[in-house]
A and B are shown apart, each in its own frame.
Chain A
């Protein structure tokens, strides 16, 4: 019954109710009035006529009247289809249509009494009166009854009813039609508005509505357009500002690279010559060397995050044994003996090995620097994902810090001296995880627990280079891999 709640149904129903009720009401009233006029008119005419005739003819009747006189009077009174019974007061005429009730009424009242009776579907006017000697005078002992068919009047009445019904039905149909038309007129702008609002919500801020006419709906469309324009303007400004600041960071990083390139190139000469300098100069040379390395790392990280911001980060996917890759990452940094690793073999996942290395090195590096041993690295495979979990057994991260650890340059301890990292490490690690369609999360544990999840299957991302005529299926594990030519 959902459609009943729709505007269209409600409008149609309203129109039908209003139109139908007015039509039925008008027709009903007309019918009622017409019927009254018809029947009362006929009835009054008949009764008056009857009364006059009775008055006129009864004068000639000699009193006390004999049966013959009575029959004569009845004969005189019968005109057309009218049936007349003339009896002595209190006598019962032989006609079932003259009811006892009417007879009693006649006896009680000095003037004409009448009643409507339906017999065999035909309406009759039945009237009766005692005949008086003079107007307002003593009763003559004679009672006259009249039975007259009202069939003609009834059929006229039925015709009026039919006419009223026939008039009301088209009105109801017209009301349905008018309701539908009105609904369409209202609903089309509403549907337009609905569509436009949805498009706007989808981010197409240039969506506008045509403004037709000057009604409330047109004003609404105009207001929608103004709002959309304002939204577009402010979002555009925000984006522009954001893009400018990102460009600025990227530009600064670029500009820093050239002097850094020159400085980095000579650091080992400076380092090698440090022993030949006097103590202070030597220390200064070492300090400069260390700071240049640190600056280089910071600029690298800024460049990397700029690439993510610009959407320019590219995945170079390869089928990689995750356990082996994590082991290699630990080995290359001399962490193999300090980190407890649980690395099941043969979990092969399409990923960018360099980016996995960045993530794992960052997580393990943080755990070793800020957490407490033992630091553990576990690789687990589930049906659809691979998880790399890095945990330490230090005090862990305070609850208020957890939501912020992936923010750029976020420092849990503001008083802490400059950390070894750039402050971008976790932000970059997370971006790398997201780039893979995975995620990097942190959970409170006994220590800090970071979990990297990577999807096991990705839609095939083809490298354009150096792929010859490729077989379309991955080789099943344990069988000879297919080659590009049979």
Chain B
């Protein structure tokens, strides 16, 4: 069970999704516009925001950016068109995952579960790589002594990669193990997440040191 904030302007879609999510034992708050959604979010401590991209007033991309600027709440986009422009824009704005409308409730449910799954806190000593410190017990990351706030998916990606420093993971592998997608997940999720992660943990994001691209294969952590 999770606390879901649904931001969707079409009343029937909103009602139907609310009904479907409530039927799956989630606590659902809904908002009809981006402004209302952001206002609701301040009071309703949502675990996940299900966000339509096509909204009156401020659009979904902007809502996404504003949520990311203040909180680490997970975001699943509802892409009305499934068009690449929407998907790329939404992922760059900070969404953790997306579903394409019309979406079957099982699929939305699976996505919500996946983005909400917490990285497991394992008791282990703090790992230090260069200026980066990973604490797998408290699930915190700090760079140069300063704590870095990472949204759940970025944190999970970092912990997953750093668990086996030097090992190359393909995008598909990462999608399956971090995003829990089936084998056909959209690899742009990984690319967008890696970029956001690099912006926060790398000293020079254009010359990544921790999360490195292995061209033609995928990504790996270090070696530092």
Contacts and interface: CB of A to CB of B under 8 A. Distances in A.
Interface of A: 254, 257-269, 272, 296, 299-300, 303, 307, 312, 314, 316, 318-319, 325, 328, 332, 348, 353-354, 357, 463, 465-471, 474-475, 481-485
Nearest to B171: A318
A357 B214 CA distance: 24
A348 B215 CA distance: 13
Most buried by B among A269, A314, A468: A468
Most buried by A among B80, B83, B103, B183: B183
Interface of B: 10, 12-13, 15-17, 19-20, 23, 80-84, 88, 92, 101-106, 168, 171-172, 182-184, 186-188, 190-192, 194-195, 198, 206-209, 212-217, 219-220
Contact of B101 (A261, A328, A470): A261
B82 A466 contact: no
Contacts, number: 148
Given A260-B102, A466-B195, A485 B84 contact: no
Contact of B102 (A257, A307, A354): A257
14 contacts: A258-B80, A258-B101, A261-B80, A265-B13, A303-B82, A312-B83, A318-B172, A319-B217, A348-B216, A354-B186, A468-B213, A469-B207, A484-B212, A484-B213
A84 B192 CA distance: 126
Nearest to B12: A262
A312 B188 CA distance: 17
A265 B20 contact: yes
Nearest to A265: B16
B209 A332 contact: no
B84 A314 contact: yes
A257 B12 CA distance: 12
A39 to B, nearest CB: 100
B16 A263 contact: yes
A296 B194 CA distance: 33
Nearest to A473: B215
B13 A467 contact: no
B101 A485 contact: no
A268 B23 contact: yes
Contact of A262 (B15, B82, B215): B15
Contacts of B220: 483
B214 A483 contact: yes
Contact of A268 (B20, B194, B214, B215): B20
A466 B190 contact: yes
Majority-rule SS of B interface residues: mixed
B215 A316 contact: no
Given A265-B19, A469-B206, A481-B216, A357 B13 contact: no
Contacts of A266: 16, 19-20
B197 to A, nearest CB: 9
Contacts of B187: 316, 318, 353
A243 B2 CA distance: 45
A481 B168 contact: yes
B192 A466 contact: yes
Contacts of B13: 258, 261-262, 265
B116 to A, nearest CB: 19
Contacts of A262: 10, 12-13, 15-16, 102
B212 A483 contact: yes
Contacts of B83: 307, 312
Contacts of A260: 101-102
Contacts of B217: 319, 475, 481
Given A257-B80, A314-B84, A466-B191, A354 B10 contact: no
A425 B76 CA distance: 29
A167 B22 CA distance: 111
A483 B223 CA distance: 9
A485 B15 contact: no
A332 to B, nearest CB: 6
A465 B189 CA distance: 10
Given A266-B16, A268-B105, A353 B208 contact: no
Contacts of B168: 481
Contacts of A296: 102
A481 B23 contact: no
A468 B212 contact: yes
Contacts of A272: 23
Most buried by A among B88, B92, B206, B215: B215
Contacts of A484: 207-208, 212-215
Given A465-B88, A481-B214, 5 more contacts: A259-B12, A269-B19, A303-B81, A318-B187, A467-B191
A260 B183 CA distance: 26
A485 B190 contact: no
Contacts of B92: 465
Contacts of B106: 268
B184 A485 contact: no
B80 A269 contact: no
B15 to A, nearest CB: 7
B104 A264 contact: yes
A357 B184 contact: yes
B17 A475 contact: no
A265 B82 contact: no
A143 to B, nearest CB: 121
Contact of A264 (B103, B207, B216): B103
